[in-house]
Amino acid sequence: MRTGAGWIWAGERGSLRAMRFAVWCYRLFGRRLIAFFILPLVSYFFLTDRKGRHASYRYLKRLYALPEGRQALGHPPRTWDCFLHYREFGLNILDRLVLWSGEGDQFEIIVHGREHFARLIEEKRGAILLGAHVGSFDALRVLAQKAGMPVKVVMFTQQAQKINRIFNELSPEMEMRVINLDPGSIQSVFDIKACVERGEFVALLGDRVGIGEHKRISWVPFLGAMAPFPRGPFLLASALQCAVVLMIGLRVNNTTYEAFAEPLADRVVLPRTTRDKTLDELVGNYAKRLEGYCFKAPYQWFNFYDFWGDDAGADSGRASFDSLAWSSAAGERDG
């Protein structure tokens, strides 16, 4: 079974000129008007991305096979539902332009579970904020900024250099709040360690397997089948002896996001005799929580590739525009 790490090396679609044109349109016409213009762009990528469409359909089909998924979708997935999946991703990218332009005040962010990270702030304890490719991680970044939470975001920028360049042009100071994940170096691990020791939060995503992760994964149930998830975030939390908090930000409408915070572990302890079992339980719990948010917002899980590794005819995946990914703790030893 493949681990799906090939999404990292997939080509980023779109040109810098087109992306800068989108930014220019946003600044000239505003967010509401450009939301109509995004439909032709979404349609183009939808029609020309055969593997992505198939991956979207397989995901929605798996979702619908479960009772909660049938309730969320209301009908068996069709081509139109796959298009809605792409459209939601396009709107997410548009919101990212707004958020990175420093105009996050346009959104209301309703927070559930604020007490979980408020306690850590009061105790001056650093922690890992573990997210997923669900909804908007950038909305959570804005929430953290408003709450006075010192947060560094771990980003694998190599597979989305174009859009990251655009975001850095929109908000140059954001580069100072990013830890660039380089699979060929352990420097990012030391940077993360320093942040946590200062009582800061480190935000990363845990639903994609990264480079060199084939020996550090757990195959756990996810939407009715076994799927690979990286152990890296929990190995890192164990090494740093810090808390892990699940953070998810879901788009409600054009002006509102809902943010959810749930504790996954106050501290990660990996007994030598039950290490693998404990990791599988931690990763499985994360995957189970992720399932719940897929049921809550079925079109907002943005992994348009063969996530389960069961499509022999497909390549390992496409990262598309998305720029945030966690490739695990590059310097951690698996043993």
Residue 332 has a pLDDT of 36
Does 318 fall in a domain?
Answer: no
Phi and psi at 313, nearest 5°, equal -90, -5
The residue with greater pLDDT, 327 or 259, is 259
Residues 116-126: tens digit of each pLDDT = 888 888 888 88
Dihedral sign of CA atoms 9, 172, 100, 199 in order: positive
Residue 198 predicted with pLDDT over 50: yes
Does 322 fall in a domain?
Answer: no
Residue 17 has a pLDDT of 59
Residue 1 has a pLDDT of 46
Residue 331 has a pLDDT of 34
Would you place residue 75 in the very low, low, confident or very high pLDDT band (cuts 50, 70, 90)? very high
Residue 32 has a pLDDT of 66
* Total count of domains within the chain: 1
Residue 30 has a pLDDT of 65
pLDDT, mean of residues 169-181: 55
Does 327 fall in a domain?
Answer: no
The structure's pTM equals: 0.81
Residues 125-146: tens digit of each pLDDT = 889 999 999 998 878 777 777 7
Q: What whole-number distance in Å separates Cα of residue 332 and Cα of residue 330?
A: 6
Helix axes of 50-64 and 31-48: crossing angle, nearest 10 degrees: 100
Residue 312 predicted with pLDDT over 50: no
Residues 9-55: tens digit of each pLDDT = 334 444 555 555 666 666 666 666 666 777 888 898 899 999 999 99
Does 267 fall in a domain?
Answer: yes
pLDDT, mean of residues 277-295: 97
pLDDT, mean of residues 257-267: 92
Phi and psi at 115, nearest 5°, equal -65, -25
Does 331 fall in a domain?
Answer: no
- Do 313 and 295 meet the contact criterion of CB atoms below 8 Å apart? no
Does 303 fall in a domain?
Answer: no
Residue 102 predicted with pLDDT over 60: yes
Would you place residue 186 in the very low, low, confident or very high pLDDT band (cuts 50, 70, 90)? confident
Supply the DSSP symbol for 125: -
Structural domain including 171 reads: 5-296
* Mean pLDDT for the chain overall: 78
Does 321 fall in a domain?
Answer: no
Which CATH number covers residue 86? 3.40.1130
